[in-house]
Structure formats: structure tokens, C-alpha cells
Structure 1
Amino acid sequence: MIRVVVADDHAVVRRGLTGLIESTDDLEVVAVARDGSEAVDLVRRHRPDVAVMDLQMPVLDGVEATRAIVAEQAGTEVLVLTSFSDHARIDAAVEAGAVGYLLKDAEPDILLDGIRAVARGESPLDPRAARRLLTRATGAPPHAAGGAAGSGGGAPADLSPREAEVLALVVEGLLNKQIAQRLGITERTVKAHLTSAYQRIGVADRTQAALWAARHDLGGR
């Protein structure tokens, strides 16, 4: 069972998220916070697997709450759930240690899969927000990247064609389950390709891999 703390300052959102999460067999909400300070206290008390964090909250905003939770080193990962207009806060939250971010207009299944992905050690990124973050990090225009693997450009860093293809889909913001469906392979095979790719390019996590892939023209198709 994946244990979750939900943090949002809007009662309707809190209730909606709690109901959605509790409707599953493998996720449970152990606490609900109305602001960032309460979120930090509840994470400290319950030590959940995942904290679903809004960014714009009173008392302590989601960025500072994320920073405090990460500093606790209690094993809780932070998944940001916010609006697309929060550009600066999204960037700040990632720098503060959030491992993934999804937008509030995401489909329910995407959100639930995102929570599961975070608990597995993945970094789910909404494609729209991910594209902007990658653009900012690489300094390239949104559509300046070249073709992905399989378009004739070859795979850098001795990546296999399939590893490069998987990384290109990571840049698009797809979760492992979605990559598996897109490529017609198993989710376990996707994980194996990612593990191998991480070792080849010298990165430790999905976000670093996505940034590397964008810099080496593996995204943008």
C-alpha cells in the first residue's frame, strides 16, 4: 500500500484528490494538509511514501514545504500538482527537490499513475511543463531539438537505438507504463533500458536523463 499525504489550500481540491486516491486498492491517504507548514508537520508525523503538493498555499508555500520535507530525509518523495501558470514555482520546486510534477487538469488515471511512479522511484513530468523546463535548462527554443532516435541521427554516448528511443519518450513526459504501450514492450523492459541508459550517460534519475536527452537532440518530435 502506497501511503500519501495531500496538501492543498482548497477544500474542494483536497476532497476530490482524497476521494480519487482512496478509490484505488493500492493507494491510501494518511493525512490532508491545508497549507505548507501543516504538510511538513504531517509528513514528519506519518512518514508517507508520497506527498502530493500544491505550490501556492498560505503560511508556507509548496516550494518551501518541499525543501523542508526533502531536508528531513524521511523517505517521502514530493509530487507537485499545480497549474500550468506556476512557471516560476514549478522551476523552484524542482530545484527544491520535487521528483515530479503534474498539472491539475491531468486525467485522473495520469495522476494515480504518477503517484505510483513516484513511489517506484520514477519522476513523472507533465509533457507541457516538462517541455518548458527542458527548454529553460538547455536554452533552446521549444521546437529546436532535432529528431529522436530512429530518425537517422544515430544514438550518442553509445546508447542502443532502443535506449535512445526510450529516452526520447521520457523527454515527452511519458511514464514507464505509457512508454511500454507506445513501443509495444513490457514495463519491465522499459525499466531495464532506462537503467542501462542512466549508466551509459552518467545520470542518477529520470529528470537528469530527460535534461541530458534534450541537450543531445533526443526529443522534440
Structure 2
Amino acid sequence: MILGVVTIAVVDDDPLVRRTVAGYFAGRPGLDLVAEAAAPEALDAAGRAADVILLDLYYRHRARVDAVAGLAASAQVLVMSAHAEDRDVLAALDAGAMGYLLKEARPEVFTDAVRQVAAGERYFSAALYGIVLREQRVRPAPEPLTVREWELLRHRAQGKTDQQAARAMGIQPGTAGTMLKRIRRKVGLATKSELVKWTLERE
């Protein structure tokens, strides 16, 4: 985020939906649409560097949970969809999405959701809260972290990048990234910033 302006990318294979959603942000103070694309793979550098990526979960009638995981490594992902299947909502959240928004929502709901997600807070359409709460009630106790996982968290909490932490631990950066994803799943946090805060609270 630069000077309080939230940059946004919209990904949807329907051009009409893209134009409609893009129009929600036109002229809104503090919000800047920087990219539109039909698929995650088509996003340009500006789109991938956006603060928030609004992603249609269904591409050619198939849920693209893998796309959520890929984009969530560098941006806050807000899934938007016309559907709300329990398994897809939960899979998207497990993959790192910060929220799930139904496309039928009003324009002001879209803008509020983007601001909230950009601030590191989760957002769900009201109709989806029941799904999320049910999952939280039945989800088993988190698996404990290993010694190496705690070591990686401490490096990240000290302000080191994934590459710097990996070098200090004698592992590949890709391995560190995989470890962080596994840690986020274990503790139920979606972003690296949440993970750093969580670590500092326990030091």
C-alpha cells in the first residue's frame, strides 16, 4: 500500500463481470484499480503486485483453489463468486484467501470488503458466516509446531525475508515458503503478517 492507497486487481473470466466490478472502484478515494485479467496467469506485474486481488474462484466452471494459494503468497486475496458451496469456501480459506464475497453484493459492500482485507482483516458475506463458524467448531486442535518451524517463525518475526531466513537456517527459500504455508495451516492464519504478529505475542 502506497500513501494510504489500496491497489486492486480483478480476475474473472467474464468480461462483463470484470467491467462491472472495476466500476465499483472508479472515483473511490483511497482505492486504485491497477489491473484486470481473465485468469490469474494473465495478470501482469502490476496486477500481481496489487494489495488486494479480487478473484473469481470458478474458472471455466472449475474451482481454482490452486490459484488462491499462488496469489496469496504476495497479495491479500478476496474471493468473489456467485456460488457458496461449503467445500469451496473452506478450501479457498485454507489456501490463504482473506475473505469470500458473493457477487450479488452491493458496490459499497465490495469497497468495504477490499478496505477491510487490505487492513489484514477477514471479510465474509453475511450468508457465509454459518459455514465458517461450523468449520471452526468441528476443526480439531491445531498440530503443534516443530522446533524448525519455530526457528523459521523467529527469523521472520525479526524482520528477515523468506530468503534471509532460509539462508540463516541452511535451507532453500522454496523450502522456507513451504514451511510457512504449513505453519499457517496449522495455526489457522491466512497471511505472513498475521503469522509474525502471532509469533511476537508468544515470544
Fold agreement, TM-score > 0.5: yes
Q: For the Cα contact (< 8 Å) 2:84–2:128, is it kept in 1?
A: no
Unaligned runs of 5+ in 2: 140-186, 191-203
Match of 2:101, SS state, is strand
Distance 1:67 1:13, change over 3 A: same
Write out per-residue CA displacement over residues 123-158 of structure 1, whole angstroms, 9 at most, x where no aligned residue. Answer: 111121121121133149xxxxxxxxxxxxxxxxxx
The 5 Å alignment of 1:106-125 reads 106-125=105-124
2:6 to 2, 8, 13: 2
Q: For the Cα contact (< 8 Å) 1:2–1:28, is it kept in 2?
A: yes
Q: Distance in 2 between matches of 1:43 and 1:122?
A: 25
Distance 1:94 1:204, change over 3 A: closer
Q: For the Cα contact (< 8 Å) 1:36–1:60, is it kept in 2?
A: no
Q: Distance in 2 between matches of 1:84 and 1:36?
A: 19
Q: Give the AA of the match of 1:7.
A: V
Deviation beyond 6 Å, 4+ runs, structure 1? 202-205
Distance 1:204 1:137, change over 3 A: closer
Structure 1 equivalent of residue 77 of structure 2: 78
Matched, 1:56 2:58: yes
Unaligned runs of 5+ in 1: 141-201, 206-221
Structure 2 equivalent of residue 217 of structure 1: none
Q: Distance in 1 between matches of 2:67 and 2:45?
A: 10
Q: Distance in 1 between matches of 2:39 and 2:66?
A: 11
1:17 to 5, 13, 21: 21
The 5 Å alignment of 1:1-221 reads 1-39=5-43, 42=44, 46-58=48-60, 61-71=63-73, 74=74, 76-139=75-138
Q: Distance in 2 between matches of 1:46 and 1:95?
A: 20
- TM-score normalised by L of structure 1: 0.56
Q: How many residues align?
A: 140
Q: Give the AA of the match of 1:116.
A: R
Q: Distance in 2 between matches of 1:92 and 1:204?
A: 14
Structure 2 equivalent of residue 209 of structure 1: none
- TM-score normalised by L of structure 2: 0.61
Q: Which has the higher strand share?
A: 2
Q: Give the AA of the match of 1:51.
A: I
Fraction of identical pairs, as percent: 29
Q: For the Cα contact (< 8 Å) 2:24–2:110, is it kept in 1?
A: no
Structure 2 equivalent of residue 145 of structure 1: none
Write out per-residue CA displacement over residues 23-78 of structure 1, whole angstroms, 9 at most, x where no aligned residue. Answer: 31211111111023224xx367650100001100149854211111123xx3x100
